[in-house]
Amino acid sequence: PERIGFFECQLGEGLKPVPDEEVIELYGGTQHIPLYQMSDFYGKGPSLKQFMDIFSLPEMTLLSSVIDYFITHGIEFDQVHLYKDISDAIRDVHVKGVMYKWIEKDMEQYILHGDEIYAVLNRLVNHKKKLFLITNSPFSFVDKGMKHMVGKNWRDLFDMVIVQADKPNFFTDRRKPFRKLDDKGSLQWDKINQLEKGKIYKEGNLFDFLRLTGWRGSKVLYFGDHLYSDLADLMLRHGWRTGAIVPELETEIRIINTEQYMHSLTWQQALTGLLERMQMYQDAESKQVLLEWMKERQEIRSLTKNLFNPQFGSIFRTFHNPTYFSRRLVRFSDIYMASISCLLNYDVNFTFYPRRTPLQHEAPLWMDQLCTGCMKTPFLEEMVHIR
C-alpha cells in the first residue's frame, strides 16, 4: 500500500495492469497528459483523480476488486457510475462516523500506543513551545484516541484543540465561527472572543484563529499527513512552516540503505555515463556493446524499482524522475519525516538546512551527479577507473 501520483500509476483492468500500448492509445498515441485533464490544486481534475492520502488505499483496493469482479463475471458497467458509487460509499463511512465507531471498539488493533509521541509533545511543552491540534475528527474519537496514545491528561499538553475543523475549508473559508464544547462534548452557545487553554472548540476558521492567537508566519510549524488538506494553504497563503508526515518513508529509507540497492544504483549510473560518453562510436562492434549496455541498464532500472514495490516502485521516484507526489511534497513542506517521533533525534533548537542538489549544468561529470561531490558512495572507488 502506498501513495501514488496519478500519472505514475499503471492503469489496470481490475487486478490486471493494462499494457503500455493500450495506455498510450488511450492518450492519443502519446505519454503526455494535457494540462486540462490533470488534477487541480487540490488533486481533483475533470478526468483524473490523484490518490495520495490514507483513504486512497481502501478506495483503490475496492475499485480494483469490484472492476475485477464485474469483468470476470461479464457484467457491463459504466465506469463513471462505479467510481462515483464507490467514492460516495467511502465518504459516507468517514463522514457519518461509522469508521470512528469501528476503531473505538478495538483501539489496541487500530491505534498504536504513543510513548515517543508523548515524549515529543512533553519535550516541546517543557521548552515553552505552544501546541495546538486541528483535526477533522469528532471530539469523542479524538479524546479516546489521544488517551490511548498519549495518556489521560493529553489535553494538558495543548494550548487549544479544534475538532471537526473541516480542513481544507478551515484554511480558506471565513464564514464558520468557532463553537465551544463542554467536557462531555456538547455544544455551547456563547460567542468566542478568545481561545482558552484546556477548552475544546469545533469548526471555526484560520482567519479567526490568527486574529485570536496572533500566531503568524514562519514562527509557526504545522505538521500534517496530507499535502493539500493540511499543508498547501498554510505555506502558500499564510507563510507557516510546514512538516509532512510520510509513514512510508521508514520503509523507503531501509531499502535505499541496503547493499543491493546501493550497488544497483551505482552501476546503473555508471552505465548511464558510459552510454552518454561512448554513443559517438558507431562501428558494428561498438553498437553491439552499446545495445548490451542499454539492455543491462533497463534491467537494473526495473530491478531497482521493484525493490520498493513491484507494481508502482518508490513513492518518491518513477525510475530516476521524482514522482508527482514527491514534487508536491517538496513544494508544500519545509521538512518531512516518517513520524513526529523523529524529532527526538534532534535538539529543540536544531536548524535543518536544505541540501544543495546539482542542476544539470552544474554537474558536467556524470559520476559527480551520483555522489554530489563526495567519494563516500559504496562501490564508487572501485569504478573510478571508468572515468
* Distance from C-alpha of 83 to C-alpha of 150, rounded to nearest angstrom: 38
* Distance from C-alpha of 107 to C-alpha of 144, rounded to nearest angstrom: 9
DSSP assignment string, 342-376: GGGGS-TT--PPPP-PPPGGG--SHHHHHHTT-S-
Would you state the torsion angle of the CA atoms of residues 224, 225, 229, 235, taken in this order, to the nearest 10 degrees? 50
- The C-alpha cell at 257 is 540503505
Strand partners, 162: 134, 201
C-alpha dist (Å) from residue 244 to 100, 187, 231, 237, 290: 24, 32, 8, 17, 42
User: Is cis: bond before 19, omega within 30 of 0?
Assistant: no
- The C-alpha cell at 324 is 508527482
205 three-state secondary structure? coil
* Distance from C-alpha of 373 to C-alpha of 370, rounded to nearest angstrom: 8
* Distance from C-alpha of 205 to C-alpha of 178, rounded to nearest angstrom: 7
* Distance from C-alpha of 352 to C-alpha of 335, rounded to nearest angstrom: 8
Give 307's Cβ-side CA count (13 Å radius): 23
17 three-state secondary structure? strand
Residues 6+ apart with CB under 8 A from 253: 338
Print burial letters for 172-196: b (CB count within 10 Å at least 16), e (below 16).
Answer: eeeeeebbbbeeeeeeeeeebeebe
Q: Is 225 annotated as a binding residue?
A: yes
Show binding-site residues for Mg(2+).
225
Show binding-site residues.
225
